[in-house]
Structure 1
Amino acid sequence: MVMNKINLSKRSIDIAYREEGQGTPVLLLHGFCGSSAYWNSVFPLLSPTCRVIAPDLPGHGLSGVPAAPYSIEDYADDLLQFLQLLGIEKAVWFGHSLGGYITLAAAERHAGRMAAFGLIHSTAYPDDDKGKENRLKSIQTVQSSGIAAFIDGLVPKLFAPEHVETMQTKIHEAKEIGYCTSQEGAVRALEAMRSRPDRTGILASAECPVLLVAGENDQIIAPDKTFTVHHNRVRQALLKQVGHMSMMEDPQQLAPVLIDFVQSLR
């Protein structure tokens, strides 16, 4: 896997990214404590028909760590600059989990720069009171016990319950990816997710095509938290027998959904 780097002058940080293929630009944004490596099995399926670009989000993988404070809106603005530096005026954005929150912020702030967008195991709802409390507990765990201990507790929950035993290799891979998240990067992301607003209205008012993808057995974001809007510009796809990590659990089921959506735009 060849990784490139590009510098965001506004932040004075480097963004590491992987790029393959030609055609419609497709931006893949991974989830919390992930990296572009989450998409390793999806790349060869999408790149024959699309120009696929997957960055490591700031504070994750090989990318630099932004200074605090850093909001979901800051992620969105920085990724827009990232695309501009690559010479891309419009792209299809697909955001997994945290990446979906960023995608919605970009749709709100930079709608004219999106050809279409999709949420993959994500939601437009904000954290409720319990969710906000859990973010604070996670911050405390990261700061007191370190990133490795936090990742060891987090990753098994991302997979469907039936896959915790049968996909040990994938779980190990996801943990190894997570260990590369900096402690500061994890805290920045937790703070940003905790303070993000309700963006269900952005889904309802979107003027571009929207794709919503949920996992049947997702323990983190249940399908009803993803499928919150129903109108003729919104497609829904419920993936069978996967949890929060379809790109690793069943890329052969996820990729055709993404390809079909992108091809429908032409």
Structure 2
Amino acid sequence: MNVLPPVLAYGTPPAFVEHAARAGLPGWREAGSGQPVLLLHGWSVSGEAFDGQRALATQGYRVIAPDHAGHGLSAALRPSDATIAGLAMDVAALIRHLALDEVVVVGWSMGAMVAWELMRSQSDLPIAMVGSIDMTPRLITSPDWPHGLHSRYDMAQARQMTARIQQRWDSLLAPVAAGLWAKGAQPNPEQSRSVMRMMRQCAPHTLAALWEDMARQDFRAVLQAARWPLFHVYGQCSRLYASSVSHATQALHPAARLTTISGAGHAPHLEHPDQTNAALLQMLHSINDKAASA
């Protein structure tokens, strides 16, 4: 497990510039210039959740945070196929549209599945590294994978959740948002309001379809066969995943780097942005140092 470097003193980061969704492309926001770092948000929020990662733009990186279909800037997009594979196709289209090269793709929660799907179905993309933040490669638990959601999730529960999302999404906002924060911690009120606002901007029908599709996914074989460098960041106090998931996921590809953010829950980049940015910079420096020595 990596030991984090000291938290860096950042200058004032530039504001995100927003770009509206259009035919064939999701909406996105970006800040800075340099090597592109593509941040893929989780289910039911938006790329605004990466506001704290604008600080990476002060370190020579182009920070890009798209909004998946049905979320935020892309809420009006109504995909005929609301699946993880469909979201990955949208991300691939954006990478090609922006002519990104040596892009580092970092996915949080559902966004990690989208990043892993890029490895499976979009292997021609010019990706330098793929990272995940607090995610399991398989949501459903089984005898050979006891590391799913809450360590006890099955397809029947996933379908029940899908129906609840479709029928009464508003009633789920508070309990879903509560799952982001560290166990035993009270969320920052401003952050909590921001998360709830993002959730209200989402399209419930798309959220429901994506939730059920996430439950169908199994990226274990994809991680085992990964040809790109991998890294994983986990919250030490996640409410969604037991601590065992981090080491079990790394064991699928032992060369992957692993960092745990102390005192953080499912959204370490929200709760502890400086520590998370230090972890991300460590990974970015590692791939660039390797490239320089090649």
Output the TM-score relative to the length of structure 1: 0.90
Q: Matched residues in 2 for 1:211 and 1:220: separation?
A: 19
Is structure 2 residue 77 aligned with structure 1 residue 65?
Answer: yes
Alignment partners' CA distance in 2, 1:217 and 1:15: 32
Change (3 A) 1:232 1:61: same
Q: Does structure 1 conserve the Cα–Cα contact (< 8 Å) formed by 2:40 and 2:65? A: yes
What is the distance in 2 between the residues matched to 1:152 and 1:61?
18
Aligned to 1:2: 17
Q: State whether structure 2 residue 64 is matched by structure 1 residue 43.
A: no
Q: For each residue in 1:97-145, what CA deviation from the matched residue of structure 2 results, as whole angstroms up to 9, or x when unmatched?
A: 0000111111112234221100101121242373422322222222222
1:159 match: secondary structure: coil
Q: How many Å separate the matches in 1 of 2:158 and 2:285?
A: 38
Give, in angstroms, the shift of residue 4 of structure 1: 0.6
Distance 2:113 2:242 in 1: 15
Q: 3-state DSSP class of the match of 1:148?
A: helix
Matching residue within 141, 145, 166 for 1:143? 166
Alignment pair present for 1:118 and 2:131: yes
Aligned-pair CA distance for 1:232? 5.6
Residues 250 and 257 in structure 2, CA contact (< 8 A), matched pair in contact too: no
2:94 is the alignment partner of 1:82:
yes
Gapped regions of structure 2 (runs ≥ 5): 1-15, 143-152, 289-294
Whether contact under 8 Å (1:214, 1:222) holds in the other structure is no
8 Å contact kept, 2:231–2:283: yes
**Which secondary structure does the structure 2 equivalent of 1:65 belong to?**
coil
What are the Cα deviations for residues 200-251 of structure 1, in whole angstroms up to 9, with x where unaligned? 1222222221111111110112332233234563100011101001111000
Q: 1:98 to 1:117 in 2, by over 3 A?
A: same
Aligned residue for 1:106? 118
Structure exhibiting the larger radius of gyration computed from Cα positions: 2
Q: Which secondary structure does the structure 1 equivalent of 2:128 belong to?
A: strand
- Kindly indicate whether residue 243 of structure 2 is the aligned counterpart of residue 223 of structure 1: yes
Is 1:238 aligned to 2:249, yes or no? Answer: no
Q: Contact 1:8–1:81 at 8 Å: present in 2 too?
A: no
Retained in 1: the 8 A contact 2:26–2:90? no
1:128 to 112, 135, 141: 141
Residue 3 of structure 2: aligned partner: none
CA distance in 2, matches of 1:152, 1:133: 22
Alpha-carbon distance change, 106 to 166 in structure 1, aligned in 2, over 3 angstroms:
closer
- Which residue is equivalent to 2:202? 181
In 1, the alpha carbon distance for the partners of 2:227 and 2:37 equals 18
Relative to structure 1, the CA distance from residue 68 to residue 47 in structure 2 (aligned partners, 3 Å threshold; closer, same or farther) is farther
1:17/1:54 contact within 8 Å kept: yes
AA matched with 1:143: Q
Q: Is the 8 A contact 1:215 1:222 kept in 2?
A: no
Equivalent residue pairs, number: 259
CA drift at 1:166: 5.0
- Judged with a 3 Å threshold, the aligned counterparts in structure 2 of structure 1 residues 46 and 134 are, in CA distance, closer, same or farther, namely farther
Say which structure is richer in strand. 1
- Report the CA distance between 1:46 and its aligned residue: 4.2
Q: Which amino acid aligns with 1:132?
A: M
| 8 Å CA contact retained: 2:182, 2:238 | yes
Three-state SS of the structure 2 residue aligned to 1:111 is coil
Aligned position for 2:109: 97
Query: CA offsets, 1:73-119, max 9 Å, x none?
Result: 11112210111111124411100000001111111122342211001
Report how far residue 47 of structure 1 moved. Answer: 4.6
Q: Which residue, 9, 16, 19 being the options, matches 2:30?
A: 19
Question: Any runs of at least 4 consecutive aligned residues in structure 1 with deviations exceeding 6 A, and if so which?
Answer: none
